[in-house]
């Protein structure tokens, strides 16, 4: 059963009047679905429309067109009931920073006419990690502890759907891994999770991934299926002067694309043959880059996204 169904959702923001009127289209007919007990990852740059979509699905704003259903309920007609069934973590920490951990938990439980004691079993595994600090104000917590508190508050009313808008941004790597381990356990309990993330290692842990840019979904598949859409041979190249190397790669007529990826540059060739590869390495040596590490690699979700970005702006 599909817990989330999004059908051709559109949204345009209008600012000003008359000659100063400005329209910004945030969503352009977005459609997808999330099944029960599934983690769906929404991947895209800032301004792609992710937060607008989350605000629509949480019934905070209305779409201009299209329809969406959460747990079989229409987001417009049944918004009150949907709010009882959805847990939401916005991108920015939004709990009351002057309240303690315990006070925030009690507040969110009371909003949904329950108590922390009644539903403690729902959040026990997560909340136990921050319970020793229950008397500390939320604003004084570390990033990882704020994250756990926000997730506990989102789960205290036993939602059927969890909406997480870049929940791990600015959190250390260990806390990010712990957070995703918790999501896997929640998924095993049947919770449907829609999450946006800028981290490609997190995207790889999703059951399905949607790539979004300029308000449009341009690819929707499993993480491996997204990678398989990248059909060009791909190489990783590294050397002593990485910035100068990238500039040289982008000057060469033999190179189709060149992007910086951590400690290497990912490169595709206009003519992906052994002869062109040899010619490029010879040309790079002439440009002052003789000692390079050059190897064939498998593409990632990020490679697929960068390829689309290049194609769409060509």
Report d(CA 225, CA 41) in Å as an integer: 13
Q: Give the mean pLDDT of 44-62.
A: 93
**Res. 160 pLDDT band, cuts 50 70 90:** very high
From the list 250, 253, 255, the residue with the least C-alpha distance to 272 is: 255
Q: Report CA torsion sign: 266, 272, 275, 276.
A: negative
219 HSE (CA, 13 A, CB side): 24
The fraction of the chain above a pLDDT of 70, given in percent, is 98
H/E run at residue 250: helix 242-251
Query: What pLDDT is recorded for position 29?
Result: 96
The fraction of the chain above a pLDDT of 90, given in percent, is 64
Q: Give the mean pLDDT of 26-30.
A: 96
**Res. 312 pLDDT band, cuts 50 70 90:** low
Q: Give the mean pLDDT of 179-189.
A: 90
Query: Which residue did the predictor score with more confidence, 163 or 127?
Result: 163
Q: What is the mean pLDDT of the chain?
A: 91
Query: What pLDDT is recorded for position 215?
Result: 93
Query: What pLDDT is recorded for position 135?
Result: 94
Query: What pLDDT is recorded for position 173?
Result: 83
Query: What pLDDT is recorded for position 262?
Result: 87
Query: Which residue did the predictor score with more confidence, 40 or 177?
Result: 40
**Res. 82 pLDDT band, cuts 50 70 90:** very high
Using the CB atoms, write b or e for 247-273: b if 16+ within 10 Å.
ebbeebebbebbbebeebbbbbbeeee
Query: What pLDDT is recorded for position 129?
Result: 87
Query: What pLDDT is recorded for position 305?
Result: 85
From the list 163, 168, 161, the residue with the least C-alpha distance to 146 is: 168
Distances (CA, A) of 91 to 55, 168, 181, 227: 11, 8, 19, 27
Domains of the chain: residue spans and CATH: 2-227 (3.40.50.300), 231-298 (3.30.70.920)
Report d(CA 198, CA 168) in Å as an integer: 9
Q: Which of 62-76, 119-133, 249-263, 275-289 has the lowest mean pLDDT?
A: 119-133
Query: Which residue did the predictor score with more confidence, 314 or 99?
Result: 99
Query: What pLDDT is recorded for position 123?
Result: 87
**311 pLDDT exceeds 70?**
no
Give tens-digit pLDDT for 186-241.
999 899 999 998 888 899 999 999 999 999 998 899 999 999 999 999 999 999 99
């Amino acid at each position: 059963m599909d817990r989330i169904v999004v059908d051709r959702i559109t949204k345009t923001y209008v600012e000003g009047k008359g000659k100063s009127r400005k329209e910004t289209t945030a969503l352009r007919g977005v459609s997808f679905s999330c099944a029960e007990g599934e983690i769906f990852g929404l991947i895209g740059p800032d301004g792609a429309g992710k937060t607008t979509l989350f605000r629509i699905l949480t019934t905070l704003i209305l779409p201009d067109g299209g329809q969406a259903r959460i747990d079989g309920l229409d987001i417009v007609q049944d918004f009150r009931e949907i709010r009882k069934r959805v847990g939401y973590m916005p991108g920015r920490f939004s709990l009351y920073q002057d309240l303690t951990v315990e006070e925030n938990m009690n507040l969110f439980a009371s909003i949904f006419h329950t108590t922390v004691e009644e539903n403690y079993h729902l959040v026990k595994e997560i909340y136990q990690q921050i319970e020793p600090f229950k008397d500390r104000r939320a604003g004084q917590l570390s990033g990882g502890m704020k994250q756990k508190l926000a997730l506990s508050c989102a789960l205290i009313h036993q939602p059927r759907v969890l909406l997480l808008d870049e929940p791990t941004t600015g959190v250390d790597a260990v806390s990010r891994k712990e957070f995703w381990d918790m999501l896997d356990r929640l998924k095993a309990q049947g919770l449907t999770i829609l999450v946006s993330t800028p981290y490609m290692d997190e995207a790889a842990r999703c059951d399905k991934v949607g790539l979004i840019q300029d308000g449009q979904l341009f690819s929707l598949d499993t993480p491996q299926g997204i990678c398989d859409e990248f059909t060009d041979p791909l190489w990783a190249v590294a050397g002593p002067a990485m910035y100068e190397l990238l500039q040289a790669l982008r000057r060469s007529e033999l190179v189709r694309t060149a992007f910086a990826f951590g400690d290497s540059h990912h490169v595709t060739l206009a003519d992906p043959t052994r002869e062109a590869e040899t010619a490029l390495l010879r040309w790079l040596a002439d440009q002052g880059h003789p000692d390079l590490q050059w190897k064939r690699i498998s593409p990632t979700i990020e490679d697929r996204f960068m390829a689309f970005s290049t194609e769409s702006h060509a």
